[in-house]
A and B are shown apart, each in its own frame.
Chain A
């Protein structure tokens, strides 16, 4: 069940088995597997025994009180204070462990977390509080401080509680734990490759389509950016076409699509173009660039199928249409934009659509700035930028992507935790209880987390920046923000109305910075901005 850890299994000790009996099924499965986890850090059997002795007994006592609340016959213990103190008297050798626990007031934290009974989770210890965030942060700090013992304890505890099939807290714990483990074992890139290969095996047009469409149906996370971008592109194109007096000749629009949403943005744009007027529908060309570090055959097949469907659909709508797919291996900044014939010999107006694309450019050096400058050189009519709002830039500004120090790591970790907790939370509330699509999305997020936590920033394609950060870059490259019109804003608001509660839209303009630190609009989940959409003109 717990596929995260595939190491050699240890034999369970008696203590552990008695431990297991008091647990519910989900965590008992994971507890069998968790022993596998700790095979690696232990140097020898001696240490293992000592560890078991230290942790097993005491944790047995402490944890038993709290974690088996749902299944054990024992009453739910509101406070953890008595067991540790009782345990301290058992053996002298165990005291220092508990002192450590008591030092950073571990138990009281746990009290708060687990005391509140969980309403939805059946797993032991799945609390109403934000235990995952706290434990993970503690663990990250321990990793940064290279405190192996604490790391082991915390990871062990997390492993007990985490599960990719549980509630939001458990899921977050599970994926971040996987990433931390990869970092500890310096297996970040390898883990990432394994996970990517695993997902590639099951990747098909059907599964991709199902996931993407279901996601858009249940959550405005991606459709927010799509609606805003389509509105901006269409309006700017119509203004330019009308203003330029191009009514005798049919207008041509070329869109350079840099996105990871598999062209699900374009059908609505095609429909809008078609319904505007049946007589002089402009010609639309879309050049989609799919860039990945390792191009996979599955993605190529998927894109080919997508292309066919788009062409059929455009024919159905009566829109003259041309579709190109570019599979680019490597960083997006290496793409030679001039070779793509984006202006079609000068007759087409160019719009650039970047949905989650800018953050895939490596933050190393000035690649991002160079890439944006390259976009500027294309002299597009409009550039729409949709990004996820998270400050995951490496802390060291000078290097811009070298090996990050402890502080940098902690900052990225904290921010990733915040962002992905919101993401997982929104997925949990939007999708039904059991959903393969959501699982696929969560796994993809898990891969991103591994990338962020365990892989060097220079090769990372997940280093998102805040709206303010991107705005600075865009301005520096020579773009000026283009505000969304009221119509587009209305469309977005209407879009949000179609989804469940919890989503809101807000303008990115800061009240205290009238110059507009970040133009555009935010999609907020429970008042936390998560997605940013903006439009820029040269």
Chain B
């Protein structure tokens, strides 16, 4: 490739070096912003971190390390057509373009068979983590984007918020979602602005003490878990725990569509479930985003989505430390067709019976069908719990 020939003089790292020599000497707490396309090379020991997914830039130890100059990385359109002077970022594209001019063209094949090693790239910026070969990035496009993002000038700005981006595609991706996201608090209030949502959330009545305590306890395990895919739900439904505790209560017509959220059962059986819960987390974190930004925001939303189910149960449960839920499920709250009042009243009325709690929590999660079905039972329950202080009072913050 003409790429390598032009940069070979700039390559400062000889192929003698092996990436893995450096791996042990580096701490691996670097968290990039959102480089989803960085390839995960196999690496020996997983770096110790709270994130379950490995850090990008852990290349194949046998790969050839290439260092490009900043100029090269930032350059665009290095390949120019001699006829029309159109610039291309890649030689391949230029060749294809030359076909249009009826010029002789040749597409080079990627010579991966004949011992040409995998190429990985290091960042030329000395202060950057990716400057070391052990943290080289595997993709040329990747290193270019990385360099622009971290060390380049941010030229693209979002209109709505004040975020600026160096890479055009990052900016485009952001503009698509900026302002379209809505924030919903437990109490039902809907916000289009993040800051007013945060401030509201901080003082909202629906902020649960026990929930937070459990979050703190589970932070190590659950920090990375934000999005749980829907496929988890069926296994949870059939968890033997439910069967054992649902003796008196028959689950009416389970909704075949699993809810977007994975519901963590709670109650005195929490200790029992804990290992299960942790196990779940470890298996389901592959799709979680690595961005701390997202996880923190998801913490807010995750708590909010979980709260309606768990708040009432905890309010009813003795000791108050019965929260089983965590921040792990932050699905899209707006996708959940729940009726707050109905759910809350319903669950609040049944507080005190932990066995039923779990099921009722579950029914709440499974959609309105169950809620309405269960509400029929609510009237019976509410009679029994007439003396119970109205839970809705404590967190109806409309």
Cβ contacts under 8 Å, A495 to chain B = 195
Cβ contacts under 8 Å, A216 to chain B = 196, 199
Q: Per a CB cutoff under 8 Å, which of A310, A317, A497 touches B160? A: A497
Contact A309 B203 (CB under 8 A): yes
A276 at the interface (CB under 8 A from B): yes
B200 at the interface (CB under 8 A from A): yes
Cβ contacts under 8 Å, A227 to chain B = 195
A277 to B51, CA, bound (A): 12
Distance (Å) between the CB of A181 and the closest chain B CB? 38
Which of B147-173 touch A at CB < 8 Å? 157, 160-162, 164
A3 to B273, CA, bound (A): 62
Q: Which of B101-109, B290-298, B371-379 binds A?
A: B290-298
Chain A interface residue bracket vs B: 35 or more
B118 at the interface (CB under 8 A from A): no
Which of B59-111 touch A at CB < 8 Å? none
A457 at the interface (CB under 8 A from B): no
Contact A310 B199 (CB under 8 A): no
Contact A317 B29 (CB under 8 A): no
Distance (Å) between the CB of B156 and the closest chain A CB? 13
A316 at the interface (CB under 8 A from B): yes
A280 to B300, CA, bound (A): 19
A491 to B162, CA, bound (A): 5
Contact A494 B212 (CB under 8 A): no
**What residue in chain A is nearest B164 (Cβ atoms)?**
A490
Cβ contacts under 8 Å, A278 to chain B = 31, 50-51, 223, 292, 295-296
Contact A318 B296 (CB under 8 A): yes
Contact B31 A309 (CB under 8 A): no
Contact B209 A312 (CB under 8 A): yes
Contact B296 A317 (CB under 8 A): yes
Given contacts A271-B198, A279-B31, contact A318 B215 (CB under 8 A): yes
Q: Per a CB cutoff under 8 Å, which of A276, A313, A318, A498 touches B202? A: A313
Contact A223 B195 (CB under 8 A): yes
Which of A290-347 touch B at CB < 8 Å? 306, 309-310, 312-313, 315-318
**What residue in chain B is nearest A488 (Cβ atoms)?**
B162
A316 to B202, CA, bound (A): 9
Contact B202 A494 (CB under 8 A): no
Distance (Å) between the CB of A242 and the closest chain B CB? 11
A151 to B193, CA, bound (A): 49
**What residue in chain B is nearest A276 (Cβ atoms)?**
B292
B213 at the interface (CB under 8 A from A): yes
Q: Which of A25-33, A262-270, A517-525 binds B?
A: A262-270
Cβ contacts under 8 Å, A453 to chain B = none
B49 at the interface (CB under 8 A from A): yes
Given contacts A278-B296, A312-B207, A317-B296, contact A267 B199 (CB under 8 A): yes
Contact A315 B213 (CB under 8 A): yes
Cβ contacts under 8 Å, A501 to chain B = none
Given contacts A274-B296, A493-B162, contact A315 B202 (CB under 8 A): no
B216 at the interface (CB under 8 A from A): yes
Contact B202 A270 (CB under 8 A): yes
Chain B interface residue bracket vs A: 35 or more
Contact A277 B292 (CB under 8 A): yes
Which of B199-229 touch A at CB < 8 Å? 199-203, 207-209, 211-213, 215-216, 219, 223
Cβ contacts under 8 Å, A279 to chain B = 29, 31, 49-50, 292
Per-residue A-contact encoding for B44-63, CB less than 8 Å = 1, 0 else: 00000111000000000000
Contact A313 B195 (CB under 8 A): no
**What residue in chain B is nearest A217 (Cβ atoms)?**
B196
Distance (Å) between the CB of B30 and the closest chain A CB? 10
Cβ contacts under 8 Å, A306 to chain B = 203
Distance (Å) between the CB of A534 and the closest chain B CB? 20
Cβ contacts under 8 Å, B164 to chain A = 490
**What residue in chain B is nearest A262 (Cβ atoms)?**
B203
Given contacts A278-B296, A279-B50, A487-B162, contact A315 B203 (CB under 8 A): no
A275 at the interface (CB under 8 A from B): yes
Contact A309 B223 (CB under 8 A): no
Q: Per a CB cutoff under 8 Å, which of B160, B195, B295, B299 touches A268? A: B195
Cβ contacts under 8 Å, B200 to chain A = 213
Contact A268 B215 (CB under 8 A): no
User: Which A residues fall within an 8 A CB radius of B?
Assistant: 209, 213, 216-217, 223, 227, 264, 266-268, 270-271, 274-280, 306, 309-310, 312-313, 315-318, 487, 490-491, 493-495, 497-498
The 7 closest A-B pairs by CB, nearest first: A267-B202, A490-B162, A278-B292, A494-B162, A315-B212, A313-B202, A275-B293
Known: A316-B207, A494-B160. 12 other contacts (CB 8 A): A266-B202, A268-B198, A274-B296, A275-B297, A277-B31, A278-B295, A279-B29, A312-B212, A313-B212, A316-B303, A318-B215, A495-B195
Cross-chain pairs A/B with CB under 8 angstroms, 30 sampled: A209-B203, A213-B200, A213-B203, A216-B196, A223-B195, A264-B203, A267-B198, A268-B195, A268-B198, A271-B296, A274-B299, A275-B293, A277-B292, A278-B31, A278-B50, A278-B51, A278-B295, A278-B296, A279-B29, A279-B31, A309-B207, A312-B208, A312-B212, A313-B202, A315-B212, A316-B207, A316-B212, A317-B296, A490-B157, A498-B193
